[in-house]
């Protein structure tokens, strides 16, 4: 079966729930130039085939795409044909559906948010407005070259309150000429919206009399939606997308793939263009013997200290693998560094007894002194490489502590090429660091890459900041509260001064 799925106008969050579900069950995804590649993450195991068409540069012509759909469908696979916008609005989805029907192949159409609606919305332009217009027309600005005449009735079109052109940038002189000839005034407002809904959205405004000159002056290029009509004049009042505090900033997130989500989402919601290139990868330890030994004699401990969400994840994961559950922790006090670590423990149905005032190791010791350390036994499940402040301090205060490795961080070599590419293109404004490991591996991977002097470094806390300084880099901002929310707030405070 073939699903012709509308990918929406660009932003990957604007795909429909059904479109996402189709991707999740796909065996093959055949996708377009204007379909956001981020959507492919919903089909991790699927075969992915790019058939994008960009102006005169076509990976495959339409006939070949139809043949490919038919061929793959005959292999008894679930095919998703992922098309930018909506499949049936200037997307040639109708031609593909007819080809499938001709060969007796079952298909389903899944609508998408068309850029003709979404682009004006993201530019702050209502396509209809009481008191301004009561009609709207959609037209293609790129008819096929083999037509002997245009299907567009320019006289009728010019009478419409709002006109929206798809694929019209190249033919803008032709569009302007025909609208003026058909009665539209030179002062009719015009907006061109490029890469709508993406963080790099660009909007060029003018009128039919000066828009061509403005396009030449700014070297404005496709892809773009063209909006013509008096509603464009409302943009100055209703513009919202570009007013978000981090709009225009490109931020590099160096966290692991699994943990980047919350930080990336927060930054995107604030308008940033986020690039995720993990400089660390979290993996289990090479050997579980020490961990297993500690779990099997868990009742000898008075406290368990968790310093990260990874420590929580891997310790309790191992507990389950050993066919044990949280009941064996009865009577043991639990200490957590940081609100995220505390939250991860509480999600397991456990209460946290000790949370230091500051999310650093030194503060843990001060808090534990209130409970008494001398003669007490502590278990510290942590990363293979970590600071020794906690174990050394506990031993100095005559406590006993077992330090066990429940996970280790490694360098993802796959990030090497991506890092070099973003610095060669001078794309980055801010780099975020959420641990000392992200810093160390970043500089190892970046090597001799030339990092622009305008790039700023955002640190989650003092320990991470000290690691940055050890590489000769002074943090541009540091979180006051050492968690993701604190890091985002620090970035906002820093950029307000720009």
Helix axes 172-181, 211-218, angle to 10 degrees: 170
SS3 479: coil
The confidence score (pLDDT) of residue 424 equals: 87
Q: Which domains does the chain have, with CATH numbers?
A: 2-112 (3.40.1010.10), 117-243 (3.30.950.10), 250-280+412-496 (3.40.50.10090), 284-408 (3.40.50.10090)
SS3 94: helix
pLDDT by position in tens, the chain (length 498): 999 999 999 999 999 999 999 999 999 999 998 899 889 999 999 999 999 876 555 578 889 999 999 999 999 999 999 999 999 999 899 999 999 999 999 999 999 999 999 999 999 999 999 999 999 999 998 765 555 557 899 999 999 999 999 999 999 999 999 999 999 999 999 999 999 999 999 999 999 999 999 999 999 999 999 999 999 999 999 999 999 999 999 999 999 888 888 999 999 999 999 999 999 999 999 999 999 999 999 999 999 999 999 999 999 999 999 999 999 999 999 999 988 899 999 999 999 999 988 867 788 899 999 999 999 999 999 999 888 999 999 999 999 999 999 999 888 888 888 888 888 888 899 999 999 999 999 999 988 888 999 999 999 999 999 999 999 999 999 999 989 999 999 999 999 987
The confidence score (pLDDT) of residue 266 equals: 96
The confidence score (pLDDT) of residue 260 equals: 85
79, 2 contact by CB (below 8 A): yes
**Which letter does DSSP use for residue 497 in this model?**
T
The neighbour count for residue 369, using CB atoms within 10 Å, is 12
Q: Cα–chain-centroid distance for residue 66?
A: 31
The confidence score (pLDDT) of residue 146 equals: 53
The confidence score (pLDDT) of residue 56 equals: 56
The confidence score (pLDDT) of residue 265 equals: 94
The neighbour count for residue 137, using CB atoms within 10 Å, is 18
Question: H or E stretch including 383?
Answer: strand 377-383
Q: Which of 290, 310, 309 is nearest to 379 (CA)?
A: 290
3-state helix, strand, coil in the chain (%, to 5): 40, 20, 40
The confidence score (pLDDT) of residue 379 equals: 98
The confidence score (pLDDT) of residue 235 equals: 98
The catalytic site residues sit at: 32, 53, 167
């Amino acid at each position: 079966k073939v699903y012709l799925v509308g990918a929406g106008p660009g932003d990957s969050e604007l795909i429909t729930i059904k479109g996402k579900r189709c991707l999740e069950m796909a065996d093959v995804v055949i996708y377009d130039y204007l379909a956001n590649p981020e959507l492919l993450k919903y089909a991790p195991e699927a075969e992915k085939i790019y058939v994008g068409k960009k102006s005169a540069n076509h990976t495959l012509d339409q006939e070949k795409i139809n043949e490919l759909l038919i061929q793959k469908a005959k292999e008894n696979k679930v095919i998703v044909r992922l098309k930018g916008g909506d499949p049936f609005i200037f997307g040639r989805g109708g031609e593909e559906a007819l080809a499938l029907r001709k060969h007796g192949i079952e298909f389903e159409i899944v609508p998408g948010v068309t850029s003709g609606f979404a682009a004006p919305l993201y530019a702050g332009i209502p396509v209809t407005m009481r008191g301004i217009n009561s009609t709207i027309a959609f037209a293609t600005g790129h008819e096929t070259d083999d037509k002997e005449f245009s299907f567009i009735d320019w006289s009728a079109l010019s009478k419409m309150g709002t006109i929206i052109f798809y694929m019209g940038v190249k033919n803008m002189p032709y569009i302007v000429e025909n609208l003026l000839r058909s009665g539209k005034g030179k002062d009719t407002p015009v907006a061109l919206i490029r890469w709508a809904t993406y963080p790099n959205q660009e909007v060029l405004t003018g009128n039919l009399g000066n828009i061509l000159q403005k396009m030449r002056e700014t070297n404005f290029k496709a892809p773009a939606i063209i909006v013509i009509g008096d509603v464009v004049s409302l943009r100055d009042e209703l513009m919202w997308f570009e007013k978000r505090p981090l709009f225009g900033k490109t931020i590099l997130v160096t966290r692991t793939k699994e943990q980047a989500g919350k930080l990336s989402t927060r930054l995107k919601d604030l308008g940033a263009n986020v690039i995720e290139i993990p400089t660390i990868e979290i993996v289990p330890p090479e050997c579980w013997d020490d961990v297993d030994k500690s779990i099997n004699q868990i009742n000898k401990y008075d406290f368990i200290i968790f310093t990260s969400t990874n420590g929580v994840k891997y310790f309790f994961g191992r507990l389950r693998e050993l066919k044990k559950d949280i009941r064996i922790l009865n009577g043991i006090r639990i200490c957590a560094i940081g609100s995220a670590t505390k939250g991860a423990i509480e999600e397991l149905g456990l209460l946290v007894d000790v949370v230091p005032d500051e999310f650093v190791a030194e503060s843990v010791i001060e808090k534990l002194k209130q409970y008494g350390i001398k003669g007490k036994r502590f278990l510290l499940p942590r990363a293979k490489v970590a600071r020794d402040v906690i174990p050394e301090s506990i031993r100095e205060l005559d406590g006993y502590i077992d330090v066990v490795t429940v996970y280790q961080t490694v360098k993802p070599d796959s990030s090497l090429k991506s890092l070099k590419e973003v610095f060669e293109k001078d794309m980055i404004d801010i780099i975020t660091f959420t641990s000392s490991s992200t810093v160390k591996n970043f500089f190892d991977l970046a090597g001799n890459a030339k990092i622009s002097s305008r790039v700023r470094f955002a640190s989650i806390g003092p320990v991470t900041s000290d690691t940055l300084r050890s590489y000769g880099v002074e943090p541009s901002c540091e979180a006051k509260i050492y968690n993701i929310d604190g890091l985002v707030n620090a970035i906002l405070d820093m950029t307000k001064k720009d």
